[in-house]
Structure 1
């Protein structure tokens, strides 16, 4: 969905409660943007289970022992340790909604992983009810949430966008004044925090990605005194790649992102600043190809990286990586090969 044409420049109106519109031509260029795709967070996780079976028996006495050690890639064939505690995030204040669509029957590449119970595709992006919030009317809230949902679908689920060389399909959905910044993100690997681009030769399975998460919104004034509708999206995206799986979870790549969007109140900013803004980004990836992710691109991990990834993540419960409430600070396994 493209953003609307720039609205006419708002007329100058004295208002002691807030700065004049012309006082904020560049305010959003200074917003904080936390990028976590650098080499310190290019995460590649493979959890493998080596199952060895020792048969010992003489005569009528037969003892069978199963020794579970890391080895075969996957999540389901080895005995797991009991549930482990892991750090979780604090939910932002405001009106919210979580993924609530009935999941389709588990089938194919997601079997044996938590993603098998997630809704498929856009069905996992559930919008909260639009209510009057601060100075934003219910209609404005509804329109803003719809824009963000469309941007998420383009950025994370649109296969045409994932393989296109030109990112404008997504870029033009942002406020005109932020588009140059978004283009700069696509010129580096920073875009991987909020958008999915496939590595050359990578092929997704025909099944739709599985999606689970939450959307929360609230109204407030930002550090520049501008009234904004702040929307926090927190989603886990599970992608199935075409591979020859050995065990459940092979070829399933996880991306977990938390994004903070802002929509300024139209009367507080100039027309080119109206629309979607990204002000904070944080993410991690799991079971990824490190070489591809160094460029921000997505592909399933390769066997050559498995052993060192296992060592770095031995204390991480693999199922926790599918939890949208999990904290995004996790071990970096890709950095082991630098």
Structure 2
């Protein structure tokens, strides 16, 4: 699970300098794992998670042999290896106003067939905003404006193909408060950007199919550790991407990313001009069916074919935004 360190918090509107105050909250960091991709079954929940922003883990894999022969197992084949259903813990929705994905999915034809993502809406249609209303010190208009900023950032970060392959992250970075931008730019070379945005690995490409999206958005008024009033918006989404593959097994070309991000906008009366705008307080994510070496660098690519059958819980868990992000790693 990746826990993106929060972007430094907005500077209060007082005469003290930023150096005197420092930036809060501090980024939560943890080094990413150095393990090379193992011989994983393609739809064994091949998860790499970020914590701090990029946290990896490894879980043991059992190789199954039958008459001395092992076979490649796709999504449906993976399900057949299960001995019994295992329930993952679910997460509780945060308090406050919220909205969940409600758009109807397109006809299920193509790379998502045979997976839960076939029932998800396409692209931005899967991002539903809750009703804006006055919340704490924030007016209805301020809430509506904040939700619009968050939705635009989500579309850029997870659905904008030009951003996926751009040499720099400015298409997304410029949507944030000026004081937040330097740290966000630094997330690209560090690989930490993967906890809240999609960047394709060199040579990786998507099919023409729009990504499938499912999740929810909620918001509430609160205060940061220095007492600055903020409107915190929590997003929790599953993003399913289709990559070209020669495999005919359902889901073999689908990469899934599940993230939760806490975005915030400070009250304009509490901060200086440079701190007005969007910030990231925290982000967590994991991914499935990925190239682990690329993921460790914050980049997305389809995983390599693997062999053997796993002993692992429900593979559908990676498609469910209500499941915990604390799932087993196989990277």
Q: TM over 0.5, yes or no?
A: yes
- The answer as to 2:90 corresponding to 1:88 is yes
Where does structure 1 lack aligned partners over 5 or more consecutive residues?
Answer: 1-18, 55-68
Distance 1:41 1:145 in 2: 39
Distance 2:151 2:282 in 1: 17
More strand by share: 1
C-alpha deviation, 1:93, in angstroms: 0.7
Residue 46 of structure 1 aligns with which residue? 42
What do the CA deviations read for 1:35-79 (whole angstroms, capped 9, x no partner)? 57822899987226x99999xxxxxxxxxxxxxx98433222453
1:187 to 162, 168, 189: 189
SS at match of 1:21: coil
Instruction: Indicate the SS of the match to 2:94.
Output: coil
1:231 aligned counterpart, secondary structure: strand
Deviations 1:68-102 (A, max 9, x none): x9843322245355532112222211100011111
SS across alignment from 1:328: coil
Q: CA deviation at 1:278?
A: 0.4
1:282 and 2:284 aligned:
yes
List alignment gaps of at least 5 residues for structure 2: 1-11, 45-62
Separation in 2 of the partners of 1:173 and 1:287? 30
Q: How many residues align?
A: 297
Aligned position for 2:250: 248
How far the C-alpha of 1:126 sits from its partner, in A, is: 0.4
Structure number with the higher helix fraction is 1
1:73 aligns to 2:73 (yes or no): yes
CA contact (8 A) 1:36 1:283 kept: no
Aligned to 2:148: 146
User: How many Å separate the matches in 1 of 2:210 and 2:184?
Assistant: 26
* Aligned residue in 2 for 1:218: 220
Shift of 1:223: 1.2
Contact in 1 for aligned 2:41/2:307 (Cα 8 Å): no
Change (3 A) 1:110 1:288: same
Matched residue, 2:207 = 205
Q: Secondary structure at the match of 1:279?
A: strand
Go from structure 1 to structure 2 and tell me whether the alpha carbon gap of 1:41 and 1:85 turns closer, same or farther (over 3 Å shift): farther
TM-score by length of 2: 0.82
Counterpart-to-counterpart distance in 1, 2:292 and 2:107? 31
3-state secondary structure, aligned to 1:72: coil
* Structure of greater Rg: 1
Cα offset, 1:114, TM superposition: 0.4
Within 1, Cα distance between the matches of 2:217 and 2:90? 16
The correspondence for 1:21, drawn from 14, 28, 50, is 14
Q: Deviations for 1:2-31, whole angstroms, at most 9, x for unmatched residues?
A: xxxxxxxxxxxxxxxxx7534584768321
Q: Distance in 2 between matches of 1:257 and 1:119?
A: 17
> More displaced, 192-201 or 71-80?
71-80
User: What is the CA-CA distance between 1:165 and the residue it aligns to?
Assistant: 0.5
Question: Match of 2:172, SS?
Answer: helix
Kindly tell me: are residues 179 and 250 of structure 1, through their superposed partners in 2, closer, same or farther at Cα, counting changes over 3 Å? same
**Contact 2:41/2:72, CA 8 A, preserved across alignment:** no
- Matches of 2:35 and 2:138 in 1, distance apart? 37
Aligned-residue Cα RMSD (Å) equals 2.9
